Amino acid sequence: MSEHPEHSTGGTYSVKGKEFTRDSRYITTRITTDVRDGFPVEPGRYRLVAARACPWANRAIIVRRLLGLEDAISLGLPGPTHDARSWTFDLDPGGRDPVLGIERLQEAYFARDPEYPRGITVPAIVDTATGAVVTNDFAQITLDLSTQWRAFHREGAPDLLPAAHRDEIDEVNRRVFTEVNNGVYRCGFAGSQEAYDEAYDRLWTALDWLEERLADRRYLVGDTITEADVRLFTTLVRFDPVYHGHFKCNRNKLSEQPNLWAYARDLFQTPGFGDTVDFVQIKQHYYVVHTDINPSRIVPKGPDLSGWVTPHGREALGGRPFGDGTPPGPVREGERVDPAHGPR
């Protein structure tokens, strides 16, 4: 069994008997209105630490922006790479997070538990009063941003978890997580040909299902953007730059899947999605950190990203992206992606 300190994928992971296995044990403390775990919903108290490179963290960045929680929860942005110990704040002046005053996210985990034994993952929500991580449970974080922080949503914030569709959203999310979000990693870190072949077939079975599902509907569930779209988008946007080659998920490029490609472009061009994506950081993370897959650490120059801003035609399917709500406003100063890191 080999162990890898893969801090972006939800803890350490291992290859046991040839098959990739994710460590899904998280700090499951929640921030709630009823203070059940001792952490109240309190604007200005918490900091979301979320690297743009990481798909799981990218979800939280998107949801925070869609809901307009920028004033309620601040955002810390580690750089795209990390060592065996931790994500680092190397993009900030002096290499320290300007709010938490730390060089490594590991320091916030150790403030919670000096013997913390697992991967130092993003996203993480840190209590600025104590400097300690409250939670790194990435799946629950975005659900709680939608439900527990409602009092601080912007006017016109979309309902990403509409009650009428909640069961279907949960069902779709389960399949997308196991077969697609995690499926690309199962391909990339397979420990044998047999394990890879099985993972590859499972991934493409799911992607074919999604290609068919999106043929006559604009969004995954209902006629508005939901949590399900956020969760699929962060994998799709990384597919051609990383997963197709680096993780050997190479039956087709995303750009060769007509419905998925048009759907991904539709979301990318929707405020709150593409304006959170940093393709340069994404490629730097995977190709530099995964030395067992890419020992040279050479980061590819491609692919051509200009297609992301081409017309997608998905409006013909109807749907209302934000339902009865409105798009988010301009990205906040200090949170904008470098224009040179996107499609040109």
pLDDT at 1: 23
What DSSP character marks residue 340?
A: G
Q: Which of 152, 186, 215 is the last residue of a domain?
A: 152
Q: Which sign does the torsion angle of CA 68, 72, 78, 79 carry?
A: positive
Could you tell me the pLDDT band of residue 4, with boundaries at 50, 70 and 90?
very low
Task: Please check whether residues 142 and 201 belong to one and the same domain.
Answer: no
Q: Which sign does the torsion angle of CA 80, 85, 89, 94 carry?
A: negative
pLDDT at 24: 72
| Mean pLDDT value of segment 15-36 | 83
Task: Please check whether residues 72 and 202 belong to one and the same domain.
Answer: no
Q: What is the CATH number of the domain that holds 246?
A: 1.20.1050.10
pLDDT at 11: 40
In a domain, 321, yes or no: no
d(CA 341, CA 235): 18
| Mean pLDDT value of segment 305-331 | 97
Task: Please check whether residues 265 and 180 belong to one and the same domain.
Answer: yes
Q: Would you say residue 271 has pLDDT above 90?
A: yes
pLDDT at 2: 27
In a domain, 341, yes or no: no
Task: Please check whether residues 228 and 269 belong to one and the same domain.
Answer: yes
In a domain, 32, yes or no: yes
166 beta partners: none
Number of domains in the chain: 2
In a domain, 290, yes or no: yes
In a domain, 336, yes or no: no
d(CA 344, CA 13): 36
Q: What are phi and psi of 337, to 5 degrees?
A: -75, 140
Task: Please check whether residues 143 and 20 belong to one and the same domain.
Answer: yes
Query: Has 249 been annotated as catalytic?
Result: no
Contact 230, 182 (CB under 8 A): no
**Annotated binding residue 204:** no
In a domain, 329, yes or no: no
Catalytic residue among 13, 26, 54, 196: 54
Which has more pLDDT, 188 or 83?
Answer: 188
pLDDT at 18: 73
- Residue in the structure block whose two tokens are 């400097």: 131
Catalytic residue among 26, 185, 196, 263: 185
d(CA 82, CA 230): 25
Q: Which of 100, 125, 152 is the last residue of a domain?
A: 152
pLDDT at 72: 98
**Which are the contacts of 1, defined by CB distance < 8 A and separation ≥ 6?**
14, 15, 16, 17
Nearest to 78 by CA among 163, 189, 99, 262: 99
> What range does the domain containing 216 cover?
163-312
d(CA 76, CA 131): 13
Task: Please check whether residues 16 and 131 belong to one and the same domain.
Answer: yes
d(CA 61, CA 48): 8
Q: What is the CATH number of the domain that holds 66?
A: 3.40.30.10
The mean of the pLDDT values for the chain is 94
In a domain, 157, yes or no: no
Pair type for strands 46-49 and 74-76? parallel
Q: Would you say residue 315 has pLDDT above 90?
A: yes
pLDDT at 6: 45
Which has more pLDDT, 17 or 302?
Answer: 302
Q: Which of 92, 125, 152 is the last residue of a domain?
A: 152
In a domain, 60, yes or no: yes
Number of helices (H) and strands (E), helices first, in the chain?
9, 9
Task: Please check whether residues 236 and 197 belong to one and the same domain.
Answer: yes
Task: Please check whether residues 138 and 221 belong to one and the same domain.
Answer: no
| Mean pLDDT value of segment 121-147 | 98
Contact 104, 95 (CB under 8 A): no
- Residue in the structure block whose two tokens are 């190709």: 287
Task: Please check whether residues 254 and 172 belong to one and the same domain.
Answer: yes
Task: Please check whether residues 93 and 175 belong to one and the same domain.
Answer: no
Could you tell me the pLDDT band of residue 344, with boundaries at 50, 70 and 90?
confident
List, as one string, the DSSP characters of 1-24: -EEE--TTSSS-EEEETTEEEE--
d(CA 232, CA 172): 10
Q: Would you say residue 15 has pLDDT above 70?
A: no
pLDDT at 85: 86
Task: Please check whether residues 126 and 181 belong to one and the same domain.
Answer: no
Task: Please check whether residues 183 and 248 belong to one and the same domain.
Answer: yes
Could you tell me the pLDDT band of residue 21, with boundaries at 50, 70 and 90?
confident
Tokens linked to 265 = 């472009």
Q: What are phi and psi of 19, to 5 degrees?
A: -105, 135
pLDDT at 16: 54
Contact 322, 225 (CB under 8 A): yes
* Tens-digit pLDDT profile for residues 150-202: 999 999 999 999 999 999 999 999 999 999 999 999 999 999 999 999 999 99
Query: Has 13 been annotated as catalytic?
Result: no
